[in-house]
Amino acid sequence: MPTTESNGITLNYTDSGGDGRAVVLIHGWPLSGASWSEQVPAFTEAGYRVITYDRRGFGASGKEPSYDYDTFAEDLAGLLDHLDVIDATIIGFSMGGGEVARYLGTRGSERIRSAVFAGAVPPYLLKTDDNPDGGLGDEDIAGMQQGASDDRAGFLDGFTKDFFSANGELRVTEAQRQEALALAEPADQEALLACIDAFGRTDFREDLARIDVPTLVIHGDADAIVPFEVSGKRIAETVTDAELHVVAGGPHGFNVSHADEFNRVVLEFLKK
């Protein structure tokens, strides 16, 4: 697969090419760009130029720090510059929603037509005095890091079960869950731990308030990793004129478990 130097890092990416409008897919933690396998064929068939990439520290991209959202947004900017992407829709799943928010909040919308937040972490996961509706306490973030540090394999095994489960029931095949575990395998350990801190503690509220492009928020109502009430609902309330679609019974990994509905809703949004 092709690579590019972006913001001091080598990014591994895929680009379907063609003359269609660009759709840039930004993956969640602790996966890679290959986690969009249910979306790439559908969006490509619909005529879009589909671009995926591995976040620094994950997949086949470079493993050099820093692992923070200002850096991640600049990595994305470098990729868009390299590919000369304009009039693009950027779609961020889970942790990837942070790149969408921070990019638009700092870089603006010159290259961007629209945005999608899918099971995304904004506006702010950490519970603080001025953010009582956050979903994670300091002890939760520390516990995740401790678990991933002490027993990475065991932690990720449990995490992927929760990732794809709704109301305690796995909503994908065991083979699909194992595929996700395999995508996490190349992740650098330092990146794995640092990104827990990044998505758990980064405040995107000001970024969301600056978004000035059409925005879709799509979220599963049974998300056990990033609950709808903590994130998707609040994103839709914050971004001006955002559209909201709630996937009934959708777990966190609903782009796989509910791929048909996910793709249909996003493709309808892309036509606008």
- What's the CATH code of the domain at 83? 3.40.50.1820
* Average per-residue pLDDT for the chain: 98
Containing structural domain, residue 82: 3-270
Count Cα neighbours of 25 within 13 Å in the Cβ-side half-sphere.
27
- Domain count along the chain: 1
| Tens-place pLDDT, residues 150-208 | 999 999 999 999 999 999 999 999 999 999 999 999 999 999 999 999 999 999 999 99
Indicate if the pLDDT at residue 1 is higher than 90: no
For the residues 248-267, what does the mean pLDDT come to? 98
| Tens-place pLDDT, residues 75-95 | 999 999 999 999 999 999 999
Amino acid at 198: A
Q: For position 142, what pLDDT does the model report?
A: 98
Q: For position 121, what pLDDT does the model report?
A: 98
The model carries a pTM of 0.98
Which residues belong to the active site? 94, 223, 252
